[in-house]
Chains A and B, each alone.
Chain A
Amino acid sequence: MNPDVLMLDETFVPRARDDVTAAVLDGETVIHCDGALHHLSRIATLVWQCSDGEVTVEGLADELAGAFGADTATVERDVSVAVLDLAARGLLVLPNDPGFESEPEPFPDVLAEAPGSCASCDRGPGWSRRATLRVGASLVDVGSDDAALDGALRAAFAAHLGSEVDAARTRELLPYYGVALAAELPASGPRPLHRLHRGTTVPVRSRDPERVLRALATHLATHADLAASGLAPLPGLVIGGPAGAVIVPRPGRPVAYERELVARGLRVADAPVALVDVETREVVVGAPGLTVDLAPLEAQGSARPGSPDPAALTWGRYPLLAFVLDAPAGPGAALLTFGPRVADPYGVDAVLDALVALVELVPVHANADAAVLADLLGAR
């Protein structure tokens, strides 16, 4: 409740809000105001109708007592109760109301709900350090667990670092992204896996720490203004080879599928979507629209135990050779497979415009087996 309501007395001049919708039946009123419904009794209806912003509560009580031949003290009590009730429901203009002309200051969207994020199911690292970044119209937190890595992230994405106010807005939320890099080789066993977290999912894990750090950049870039870069985000996986790239549906077993592709000389892009330049019919792999200094990330990569195992598709532009589906072939199938989500975070129109244009220009094949793709992409 607005605390100003508690300050109202008999000298208050009630004025009914004029931006509500009211229906009167049998002397009672139903009001729709700010998305809520209110039911006013007959007395409250009278008070509401008389609240014209010119008469005090005391004056209103005198008028009504005179009109109905009732005891002034009783009516004044009833009117006061009704005015307090109307004010508490937000149906009256209060003395210190800021007015409806003030517009809230525009503020970036806070990306707080990464896939699987919730306090009760968070089993990820603790993210003792976090950098708050402004990317496009979004505030994105990147968590990490050691000072050197946090420093490298801040240096690499310095152009996007948010203010103290930005950091305060995200402090209570789980970081949207997190990077976990192993610091040293274990005493025995295989080399450690480094991980990129997105909420409680792990979209990239690799023994190559630099691959994980670059993957963070490609993921962050999808929050930038892609339209300004002339790019459309399609929900598919980019696979590249010597002749160009194809877009395939995201596989159910990504690690095993990548192993098959790598064995045939193909590479996979580490990005949550395929960024496509519709004009040139090229796939863009990298971090377009993001200002990133790769040197601190490369230094972090060199400082950690790792091996290039396997390498991701190198950043660059690749001719889009085909969409490749599980089955059947054809532009309609590509539309169904790569269509946007109903409430797509990238915007339904951006995705659909690009897709409709592309599926009529780019071949749509029906078999995404590694051997078929290797032929298509000119790999060994």
Chain B
Amino acid sequence: MPERDERVRRLLDAYPWAGEGIHVRLLDVGLTLYATDVHLAEYLAELYAPLRVLERGRHTLTISREGRGRHRAHVVTLDACRVVSTPAASVALSHLLFQANQLAIDGTREAVLIHAAAVAAPDAAVVIPGPMGAGKSTLTAALVARGLGYLTDEVVALDPVLGCVRAYPKYLSLGSRHEDVLHDLTPAVASGVERFVGDRRLVPPETIRPDAIAGPTVALLVVTPRYERGAATTLEPLRPTDALMMLAQHAFHLDHDASRVLEVLSALVERSRCYRLVSGDLDDACDHLVGLLDAVREPAAS
């Protein structure tokens, strides 16, 4: 099988792509991205800039065109296996981005992975778990704009021994409804790429702040946010088992590795303060979260 996979890589590398392959490291996974559309290739290179490496990845993710006339379609493949064939450019890009992230999740087994965002002060990180639409990415972008370090907006990789959150500085994925509150953070999309990007707001962290990306940081705070239009900001401490239940519900490999995942998450809960944050005001939510982070850092700093 390794020989077959090597032949697949060689055959795909020889295809007439637009530009060089984009080699990236997504947590433990090496991936090479290719596109036939020159504008999209440039866009992907910018989007994945913080994750780029020199060596070719073990996996290959491609986006190309096939068919003729009104049957022309965008095709996304992973290691030469067809992920989707669709006439809609934005659907194709969605699949490509999803597959890349899914590869990172499936291929990273040493760290315990949680569906969560994370930002860091110099000596303490906050883990921000929550379902899609809870406001994780928006809160993360705003916190990074305020000077906190960016770790991830989607997959927290928790080192099982050190308790550190590893950096997975992928682009932040902001919903279109947040354009008004985070307008300044959203880079303009080059012409030729709009049809792929659609109404998504994909923000490379270094466009928020040049030095936005943080290194591995010990997590000492867990805050699960919920955006509620018009709601006053409230913070409610979570009981340890409630926090553990919530984190476990957002853990990626719980069914395969329950014992280790629960052990690592229990350790996270035991050393962290855990809260539920409800807010309808982004600035206010940031103030509360920065205050909490300062509070947990005081004993850590001393």
A: residues with CB less than 8 A from B are 21-23, 25-26, 28-30, 32, 35, 37, 39, 235, 249, 251-253, 326, 328, 330-333, 335-337, 339-342, 344, 348-349, 352-353, 355-356, 359-360
Contact = CB atoms under 8 A, between A and B. Distances in A.
B301 interface: no
Nearest to B242: A39
Interface stretch (B40-48, B80-88, B130-138, B181-189): B80-88
B240 A26 contact: yes
B266 interface: yes
Contacts of A344: 81
Interface in B1-46: 1, 4, 7-8, 11-16
Closest 6 CB pairs of A and B: A252-B71, A332-B15, A21-B258, A25-B240, A28-B241, A32-B258
14 contacts: A21-B259, A22-B262, A25-B240, A37-B249, A37-B254, A330-B15, A333-B15, A335-B11, A336-B15, A352-B81, A353-B4, A355-B80, A356-B7, A356-B11
Given A32-B254, A35-B255, A360-B7, 7 more contacts: A26-B239, A30-B248, A30-B262, A252-B70, A332-B14, A335-B8, A336-B64
A340 B262 CA distance: 37
Given A335-B12, A341-B82, A23 B266 contact: yes
B279 interface: no
A28 B239 contact: yes
Nearest to A334: B11
Interface in B218-244: 239-242, 244
A342 B78 contact: yes
A342 B81 contact: yes
A349 B4 CA distance: 10
Contacts of B120: none
A332 B239 CA distance: 55
Given A25-B240, A25-B270, A340 B82 contact: yes
A285 B240 CA distance: 64
A335 B240 CA distance: 52
Given A25-B269, A352-B81, A330 B14 contact: yes
B67 interface: yes
Contacts of B245: 30, 37, 39
B177 interface: no
B62 interface: yes
A181 to B, nearest CB: 30
B90 interface: no
B77 A23 contact: no
Contact of A253 (B15, B71, B255): B71
B189 to A, nearest CB: 26
A359 B249 CA distance: 45
Nearest to A253: B71
Interface of B: 1, 4, 7-8, 11-16, 62, 64, 66-71, 75, 77-78, 80-83, 239-242, 244-245, 248-249, 254-255, 258-259, 262-263, 265-266, 269-270
A336 B80 contact: yes
Contacts of A340: 81-82
A331 B11 contact: yes
Nearest to B255: A35
Most chain B CB within 10 A, of A26, A339, A340, is at A339
Nearest to A30: B244
B69 to A, nearest CB: 7
Contacts of A25: 240-241, 244, 266, 269-270
B252 to A, nearest CB: 14
A99 B80 CA distance: 44
Contact of B77 (A39, A253, A336): A336
Contacts of B80: 335-336, 339, 352, 355
Contacts of B7: 356, 360
Contacts of A26: 239-241
A252 B69 contact: yes
Nearest to B73: A252
Contacts of A328: 16
Nearest to A27: B241
A151 to B, nearest CB: 40
Nearest to B4: A356
A37 B8 CA distance: 41
B70 A23 contact: no
Contacts of A355: 80
Contacts of A23: 244, 262-263, 265-266
B75 A336 contact: yes
B40 to A, nearest CB: 16
Contacts of A21: 258-259, 262
A328 B65 CA distance: 10
Contacts of A29: 241
A26 B263 CA distance: 14
A342 B262 contact: no
Contact of A359 (B11, B68, B255, B266): B11
B15 A352 contact: no
A356 B79 CA distance: 12
B79 to A, nearest CB: 8
Given A252-B70, A336-B15, A28 B240 contact: yes
Given A23-B266, A331-B11, A30 B241 contact: yes
